[in-house]
Structure 1
Amino acid sequence: MSTNLEEHWNNAYRKTPINNLGWYEEKSTPSLSLINECNLPNNAAIFNAGAGATTLIEQLLKEGYSNLIVNDIASSALTELSNGLSKYKNSSIKFVVDDLTNPNELFKLKNIDLWHDRAVLHFFIEQEQQDTYFNLLKKVLKPNGYVILAEFNLNGAKKCSGLDVFNYNETMLQDRLGEDFKLLNSFNYTYIQPSGNTREYVYTLFQRINS
Structure 2
Amino acid sequence: MAEISERDLKAHWDAAYARRAPEKLGWYEAEPIPSLQLIERSGLDRDARILIAGAGATTLVDALLERGYRNIIANDISSTALQRLKERLGARAEDIHWVEDDLTRPQTLPALEPVDLWHDRAVLHFFTEAEDRRTYFGLLRRLVRPGGFVVLAAFNLQGAERCSGLPVHRYDAPMLAEALGAEFRLLESFDHVHIMPSGEERPYVYTLFERV
Same topology, TM > 0.5: yes
Conserved 8 A contact 1:110-1:141: no
Inter-partner Cα distance in structure 1 for 2:99 and 2:58: 14
Q: Secondary structure at the match of 1:27?
A: coil
1:63 is aligned to 67
1:95 alignment partner AA? W
Unmatched 5+ stretches in structure 2? none
2:141 is equivalent to residue 135 of structure 1: no
Inter-partner Cα distance in structure 2 for 1:35 and 1:146: 9
1:181 is aligned to 184
Q: Secondary structure at the match of 2:90?
A: coil
Runs of 4+ in 1 over 2 A off after TM superposition: 86-89
2:107 is equivalent to residue 87 of structure 1: no
1:8 is aligned to 12
Superposed displacement of residue 18, structure 1: 1.0
- Structure 1 segment 130-169 matched on structure 2, within 5 A: 130-169=133-172
Inter-partner Cα distance in structure 2 for 1:23 and 1:175: 25
Superposed displacement of residue 86, structure 1: 2.3
Q: Deviations over 1:98-145 (max 9, x none)?
A: 000000001111220000000000000000000000000000111100
Identity %: 50
Q: Secondary structure at the match of 1:202?
A: strand
Q: Deviations over 1:2-52 (max 9, x none)?
A: 101000000000001111000000000000000000111111000001010
Q: Secondary structure at the match of 1:196?
A: coil
Inter-partner Cα distance in structure 2 for 1:144 and 1:109: 17
Q: Equivalent of 1:34, from 35, 38, 48?
A: 38
Inter-partner Cα distance in structure 2 for 1:204 and 1:184: 8
- Structure 1 segment 105-144 matched on structure 2, within 5 A: 105-144=108-147
Superposed displacement of residue 53, structure 1: 0.4
Unmatched 5+ stretches in structure 1? none
Superposed displacement of residue 80, structure 1: 1.2
Q: Secondary structure at the match of 1:183?
A: strand
Conserved 8 A contact 1:110-1:139: no
Inter-partner Cα distance in structure 2 for 1:83 and 1:44: 24
Inter-partner Cα distance in structure 2 for 1:110 and 1:94: 12
Q: What is the count of residue pairs matched by the alignment?
A: 208
- Structure 1 segment 20-31 matched on structure 2, within 5 A: 20-31=24-35
2:99 is aligned to 96
Inter-partner Cα distance in structure 2 for 1:150 and 1:37: 15
Q: Equivalent of 1:204, from 199, 203, 207?
A: 207
